[in-house]
Amino acid sequence: MATKISVVVADDEAGYRKALTSVLASAPDIELAGVAMNGREAADMVMQHNADVLLTDIQMPKMSGLECLRELTKRKRDTAVVILTVHEDDQNVFEAVRSGAISYLLKTSTPKEVIDAIRRAHNGETTLTPAIASRVISEFRRQKEDDDVDDEHLYELSEREQEILEFISRGFRNKEIATKIGLAEKTIKNHVSGILKALQVNSRTEAAMKALREKLVG
């Protein structure tokens, strides 16, 4: 029997927490590891249960979702973080991407979209609500126009990592990359981790933006 995806849910609204737990209960491959009312509880639950995915709101008491994300990064936890919020302003979106959130969804998302995002996050794949994706692309274009990049700056990427980075920048998912180049999906996931470390970024979305901005890919 396949191992279930362990998920911690964090939201300060009791009604929404209840709705999310019902949504996750409908997915046979997802296991609810804990339900938190704030970022502090969420961080502790993730560490206690060694959760695969954290599904979190941004604005919460005691510790926000973004502060929780940074706390988990500090503790060297590689839990995939999916933001689920009403906030779609540029500041929160870009801060979430910079801090390492793998996905960013709005609370208008359907239950199916939330479940799919959790599954994809567990596989190291990004999900962005269309409106959020447009903002990220616009920000990338702005940075590409504004930044004076040193073309001689080199990153230590192997030929395989360079190849995978090309696919990431074109929006391919891990499973699709694995099929393209004939490697196991788990191997691709390991290579992606190496790429993030080499580029000094926290998410594949940020890696794609950096690769395109600094002309690391064609």
Q: What would the pLDDT profile of 28-58 be if each residue is shown by its tens digit?
A: 999 999 999 999 999 999 999 999 999 999 9
Which range, of 6-15, 76-85, 116-125, 132-141, averages the lowest pLDDT?
A: 132-141
Helices (H), 26-158: 39-49, 65-74, 90-99, 111-122, 130-146
pLDDT at 70 over 50: yes
> Same domain, yes or no, for 120 and 156?
no
Measured CA to CA, the distance from residue 112 to residue 122 in angstroms comes to 15
> Same domain, yes or no, for 19 and 127?
yes
- Confidence (pLDDT) at 145: 53
Q: How far is CA 36 from the centre of its chain?
A: 19
Confidence of residue 152 (pLDDT cuts 50, 70, 90): very low
Closest CA to 115 of 27, 206, 12: 27
Q: Encoding tokens for residue 47?
A: 């560490």
DSSP string for residues in 136-196: HHHHHHHHHHH----TT------HHHHHHHHHHHTT--HHHHHHHHT--HHHHHHHHHHHH
> Same domain, yes or no, for 23 and 90?
yes
pTM, two decimals, is: 0.70
Q: Are strands 127-128 and 103-106 parallel, antiparallel or unpaired?
A: parallel
Measured CA to CA, the distance from residue 49 to residue 103 in angstroms comes to 21
> Same domain, yes or no, for 10 and 104?
yes
CB atoms within 10 A of CB 22: 10
Confidence of residue 94 (pLDDT cuts 50, 70, 90): confident
Measured CA to CA, the distance from residue 106 to residue 127 in angstroms comes to 11
Q: In the listed set 83, 106, 136, which residue is the last one of a domain according to the structure?
A: 136
- Confidence (pLDDT) at 142: 62
* Range among 36-45, 84-93, 144-153, 209-218 with highest mean pLDDT value: 36-45
* Range among 48-52, 202-206, 213-217 with highest mean pLDDT value: 48-52
Q: Is residue 94 part of a domain?
A: yes
Q: Is residue 141 part of a domain?
A: no
Q: Are 84 and 110 in contact (CB under 8 A)?
A: no
> Same domain, yes or no, for 168 and 91?
no
Structural domain total, the chain? 2
> Same domain, yes or no, for 113 and 55?
yes
Show the domain range for 15: 5-136
Amino acid of residue 37: M
> Same domain, yes or no, for 200 and 121?
no
- Confidence (pLDDT) at 151: 46
Q: Is residue 218 part of a domain?
A: no
Confidence of residue 25 (pLDDT cuts 50, 70, 90): very high
Burial of 138 (0-12, 13-18, 19+ CB in 10 A): exposed
Q: Indicate the DSSP class of residue 218.
A: -
Q: In the listed set 114, 136, 158, which residue is the last one of a domain according to the structure?
A: 136
Q: In the listed set 111, 136, 161, which residue is the last one of a domain according to the structure?
A: 136
Q: Is residue 144 part of a domain?
A: no
What integer is the mean pLDDT of 141-163?
66
Amino acid of residue 34: G
Burial of 81 (0-12, 13-18, 19+ CB in 10 A): buried
- Confidence (pLDDT) at 32: 96
